[in-house]
Structure 1
Amino acid sequence: MTQALKLLRIYTDEAAYYGDHKLYAAIATRARDAHLAGATVLRAMVGFGRSSHVHRRHILENEQSVVIEIVDTEDRLRAFVETLAPLPEIGLITLAAVEVLRMQGQGAGDER
């Protein structure tokens, strides 16, 4: 039986920190520690949000937008988002239905 999976996207800035670690790395580590199916961090070429401030790669600056994508079951993703409440500078968080065509290794939601 195939489980319904969702895609969680977390938007933030590359320059955002949580303690001594980049925020995106802290989130990816938390996702791994939560035994989610997997996480990918993507750096945007150009991006802007509510402030309309355009983030782009520049030789002297490192302020690109970053998207963290995680696929797993809805319950597990919603529980994970709750653990992110103490983290500052997280922007938009979205959850969308996704059709997984192929997944190697352990499936989402499997006991680990």
Structure 2
Amino acid sequence: MRLSGAAQRLTVLVGESDQYRHRPLYTEIVHRAHRMGLAGASVFRGIEGFGASSLIHTSRLLSLSEDLPVAVVIVDAEPRITAFVAELDELVTEGLVIVDEVRVHRYVGRGAPEGSG
């Protein structure tokens, strides 16, 4: 797969302990993105943050927080991101979904021939 030029970045910000049908929400998002054939998805665990609850969650040793912020980031072409955002309506009940216009300089998937790109 080759993706370059104009694209969109989808960022889903949720809590680490958020669940969907007894599994981590971020895992469900990644697996659905994979099933829909999106270019890729990465999950980033935050070390500190707060959201709608205004409670600060932190990974510092003396903190009791186990609900750290998590960001799922997906980059793909606009029509594919738009279709995936509709999937998120069912999944994300509390969190933030951000879509940005981005420019991809190079993406070559597995099995690309030498010198392509």
Gaps of 5+ in 1: 107-112
- Root-mean-square deviation (CA, aligned residues, Å) is 1.9
TM-score using structure 2 length: 0.80
2:48 is the alignment partner of 1:46: yes
Of 59, 62, 65, which residue of structure 1 is paired with 2:66?
Answer: 62
* Counterparts in 2 of 1:78 and 1:105: CA distance versus 1, 3 Å: same
TM-score using structure 1 length: 0.84
2:18 is matched with which residue? 16
Gaps of 5+ in 2: 111-117
Amino acid of the structure 1 residue aligned with 2:51 = G
**Runs of 4+, deviation exceeding 3 Å:** 58-61
CA distance in 1, matches of 2:52, 2:108: 37
Q: Secondary structure in 1 aligned to 2:26?
A: helix
Report the CA distance between 1:56 and its aligned residue.
1.3
CA distance in 1, matches of 2:73, 2:5: 18
Could you give the per-residue CA deviations for residues 18-37 of structure 1, whole angstroms, max 9, x where no partner exists? 11210000000000000000
* % identity of equivalent residues: 37
* Counterparts in 2 of 1:4 and 1:68: CA distance versus 1, 3 Å: same
CA distance in 2, matches of 1:88, 1:74: 20
Report the CA distance between 1:90 and its aligned residue.
4.0
CA contact (8 A) 1:10 1:90 kept: no
Report the CA distance between 1:91 and its aligned residue.
0.7
Aligned length: 106
Flag the structure with larger Rg.
Answer: 2
Q: Secondary structure in 2 aligned to 1:12?
A: strand
CA distance in 2, matches of 1:56, 1:101: 34
